[in-house]
Structure 1
Amino acid sequence: MSGLRVIPTWRHGQERLYVCLPDGRNIAWYDREAARVNLLGDDRRDDVLEALAPFLTGPVAVGPPPVPTPAELARLSLHPDDDLAPNRPGEAHLIALDRDPAPAHRLRPDPRRRALAAEQTTGRALDGLDGAGWRTLHSVPLPGGDRIHHLAIGPGGLFALHVLPARRQRVRIAGPLVTLGRREPRPLLHRVRADADRASYALTAEVHAVLVLVGPADTVLAAPPREVRVLTDEELPELARLGGVLKPADVEALHAMARDRNTWLRV
């Protein structure tokens, strides 16, 4: 018996199997997606492969870890307090509700919870694009208290998504005006475009504006919006069919830049 232990972990939706010594130190890990066993030292190669044998699903490459890319080096040097990648969908609402929960008994549901549920629905759909080469950041803070609900980066480009809870209500869009149910029209698309423009400035790259309608009963485009894509939450997987704009290395580099809180301080 080699005494080695295999410990599974998940990171960004991908499984890694770490091989550890009895004292807990890692000496290797198996990346299923890359079909590669990365060895920190060659002296325990046979023992590592023996420990991983029940988990290997086919031929694998074996060798030292690959040299980190510039994007990976940037991520490794990023202070945890400045890393936006761990933000959950609706992070701002979660924090607000934790600090100031709604009264136990109220006549109407707390609108923050509807907004939170809509952003969580959108976030799940976007996170599902990870396997198609997309990276998503949630609740990106901007100076002045604003935020981008979701930022998606992938082969089809960069997209700043603003989420509108529209459960079982008709949405009418006429130019920049958005009418939800029987409410007064609001120039919401000005805000959506402005968020995308701020993201473009911060990332020095073109960012497309997207309005996401979550659960609408009906959508009426009285006047097609300019420079804003309108999607329902069920249509978000359409983004995965877009491509030809960014290479994988560009996606990772932009994601590394966007996840740094300091990137957004200048907008």
Structure 2
Amino acid sequence: MEGLRVIPTWRHGRERLYVCLPDGGNVAWYDREAARVNLLGDDRRDEVLEALAPFLAGPVAVGPPPVPTPAELARLTLHPDDDLAPNRPGEALLVALEREPGPAHRLRRDPRRRALAAEQATGAALDRLDAAGWHTLHSLPLPGGDRVHHLLIGPGGLFALRVLPARGQRVRVADPLVALGRRTPRPLLRRVRADADRVSYALTAQVCPVLVLVEPAHVSVTAPPRFVRVLTDAELPGLARTGGMLKPADAEALHAMARDRATWARL
């Protein structure tokens, strides 16, 4: 047993204890929630159980890892260049600012940086829902140079979110128009619905369009918008309380499809 190390990690909000060789190679892992020790080889069974003994709580199942689900197999065969899951919130804006940061002497802040800060704040709030069984993808590229700011998949269904920076401003919503402060109203809700329609077509699933207002001073809505949810960034955690729409396996399958760049290239 000497030389085996137990290393705790977190994956999708669940704790796993990996049993590793001195060179870092894994020989087993213990899933506390499933009460199961997964062995990559049976030759070290006794050594692994002895190493894990201080961490085991009650009886556990011991055996080889479960057969991968279709969603897991799809993820394992996905080329890294085509995997969108590593995208950071505001990925497209980050790349654009790296390529063309803009003049340093500008008197007014580059609006791209305000948009980036809003997407990053929204993305951070959505990523915190991971522990509740939700998956989030950021900055999904669409044909024609457009993109979906955030896609949330979980027990409550699918949500396509478009972010509007509104720090310290009054926001007026009169479907389809959205006005920030004294600016001319824009038919932004049409764009939000169009994003959701494209996601729905790509994934062949119902998608709820969401407009996220980041740090507004006040929001007034003349009437409930048609088929669109209007939320502030402070209200995003409420999405985790929705459920009853997708089983975990269905959410995993949709996430596997959505993270594949080819899914969006077909639109």
One-letter amino acid matched to 1:205: A
Cα RMSD after superposing both structures:
1.7
Amino acid at match of 1:66: P
User: 8 Å contact 1:173–1:224 — kept in the other structure?
Assistant: no
Q: Deviations over 1:207-264 (max 9, x none)?
A: 1100000100000112331111101111111111211111111111111111111001
Q: Which has the larger displacement, 91-100 or 212-221?
A: 91-100
Aligned partner of 2:199 in structure 1 is 199
Give TM-score, length-normalised by structure 1: 0.94
Q: How does 1:57-206 map to 2 (within 5 A)?
A: 59-206=59-206
User: What are structure 1's unaligned runs of at least 5 residues?
Assistant: none
> Structure 2 CA distance, aligned partners of 1:149 and 1:159?
11
Offset at residue 156 of structure 1 (A): 1.1
- Tell whether the 8 Å contact from 2:12 to 2:133 is kept in structure 1 after alignment: no
Deviation by residue 1:173-208 (Cα, 9 ceiling, x = unmatched): 111111011111111111100000000000001111
Q: Name the CA shift for 1:21/1:152 in 2 (closer, same or farther; >3 Å).
A: same
Q: By how many angstroms is 1:98 displaced?
A: 1.5
Q: Tell me how far 1:59 sits from its aligned partner.
A: 4.7
Higher mean alpha-carbon deviation, 58-67 vs 167-176, is at 58-67
Q: CA deviation at 1:29?
A: 1.6
Paired residues of 2:14 and 2:131 also in contact (CA < 8 A): no
Amino acid of the residue matched to residue 179 of structure 1?
Answer: A
Instruction: Tell me how far apart the structure 2 counterparts of residues 34 and 123 of structure 1 sit (CA, whole Å).
Output: 29
Q: Deviations over 1:80-135 (max 9, x none)?
A: 11111111111111111122223333211121111111111111111111122211
Relative to structure 1, is the Cα distance of residues 93 and 35 closer, same or farther in structure 2, using a 3 angstrom cutoff? farther
Q: 1:253 to 1:99 in 2, by over 3 A?
A: same
Residue pair 1:8, 1:18 contacting (<8 A) in 2 also:
yes
Deviation at 1:21, TM superposition (A): 2.0
Secondary structure of the corresponding residue to residue 19 of structure 2: strand
Could you tell me how far apart the structure 2 residues matched to 1:86 and 1:36 are?
Answer: 29
Q: Provide the C-alpha distance between the structure 1 equivalents of 2:124 and 2:138, rounded to a whole number of angstroms.
A: 11
TM-score (norm 2): 0.94
Q: How many residues are treated as equivalent by the alignment?
A: 267
Mapped partners of 1:133, 1:12: distance in 2: 7
d(CA) in 1 for partners of 2:16 and 2:200? 34
> Partner residue of 1:230?
230
Q: How far does residue 4 in structure 1 lie from its aligned partner after superposition?
A: 1.4
Task: Report percent identity of matched pairs.
Answer: 82
Alpha-carbon offset, residue 11 of structure 1: 3.9
